[in-house]
Amino acid sequence: MNLKNPISLAITMGGAHNSKAWYIPDVRIEPVMNERFMGSVEKGGFVNFRNITFNPHGNGTHTECVGHVAKQVYSVLDCFENYFFSAQLISVTPEKTNGDNIITKACLLPFAEKIKGKEALIIRTLPNTEQKLNIDYSNTNPTYFSLDAMQLIVDLNITHLLVDVPSVDREEDGGALAAHKLFWDYPNIPFSKKTITELIFVPNQVVDGEYLLNLQLAPFVNDATPSNPVIYKI
Ligand SMILES: [Zn+2]
């Protein structure tokens, strides 16, 4: 394995790329400006000193924990004792049903033997276009997971699930979040250390197979936080 060859699966925020969902505005990066201070060198300040406004679920790649659906406040940071995991990258074509694109058990079953024994599962949906780097998923009914697909992921003992869609559940599901809850077995298990990472992008030149995953997180105490999943070919 070559540690000098990292592959980031994160969609960057505030620069050339901008992937968002849930009717959230774009990430805003603005200089602090008040009577005492000008946070822009271009505008005459001494330093650049900018505020960043974003929503971890709505803007860019993020990792979330059961705190997303639980009554209690849980921090995704408490899910981690280490940040390196064995991972399997697979590419799947969702099934089309009544206008929905769904990742079903049948989509995942052919990969079950390869997934077995891995801590993390990385799913790239096909077609995989660079549109995913600059898309507003709001009101587009994006690809989601069927419950039998999620049950298979649970049965395969996956601890960290990474997907290139904005949610494992349907955009409009009446608030059920059934696939999220199935993954975390919530509320049967109040706090699970399993995580879901959404809105990743797996570049096309990255081939399916086994990787070492380094899941890097911004240290916000919240149910979700921006993340940078970095993989290394084994
Ligand atoms: Zn989310």
What are the tens digits of pLDDT across the range 24-54?
999 999 999 999 999 999 999 999 999 999 9
pLDDT tens digits, 164-186: 999 999 999 999 999 999 999 99
Q: Note the pLDDT of residue 58.
A: 97
Distance 68 CA to ligand 1 centre (A): 8
Distance 58 CA to ligand 1 centre (A): 7
The Cα 2–Cα 147 span in angstroms is 37
Q: Note the pLDDT of residue 117.
A: 97
**What DSSP character marks residue 109?**
G
Q: Per-residue confidence at 7, pLDDT binned at 50, 70, 90?
A: very high
Distance 1 CA to ligand 1 centre (A): 31
Distance 67 CA to ligand 1 centre (A): 11
CA 5 to chain centre: 22
**Omega into 190 within 30° of 0, i.e. cis?**
no
> What is the mean predicted confidence (pLDDT) over 135-144?
97
The Cα 187–Cα 58 span in angstroms is 24
Q: What is the overall mean pLDDT for the chain?
A: 97
The Cα 180–Cα 192 span in angstroms is 12
Distance 189 CA to ligand 1 centre (A): 20
Tokens describing residue 56: 């971890």
Q: Note the pLDDT of residue 1.
A: 85
Distance 46 CA to ligand 1 centre (A): 37
Q: Per-residue confidence at 152, pLDDT binned at 50, 70, 90?
A: very high
> What is the mean predicted confidence (pLDDT) over 195-223?
98
Task: Specify the residue for token string 């995942």.
Answer: 108
Q: Per-residue confidence at 154, pLDDT binned at 50, 70, 90?
A: very high
pLDDT tens digits, 39-95: 999 999 999 999 999 999 999 999 999 999 999 999 999 999 999 999 999 999 999
**Largest distance between two CA atoms of the chain:** 63
Strand (E) or helix (H) holding 151: helix 147-155
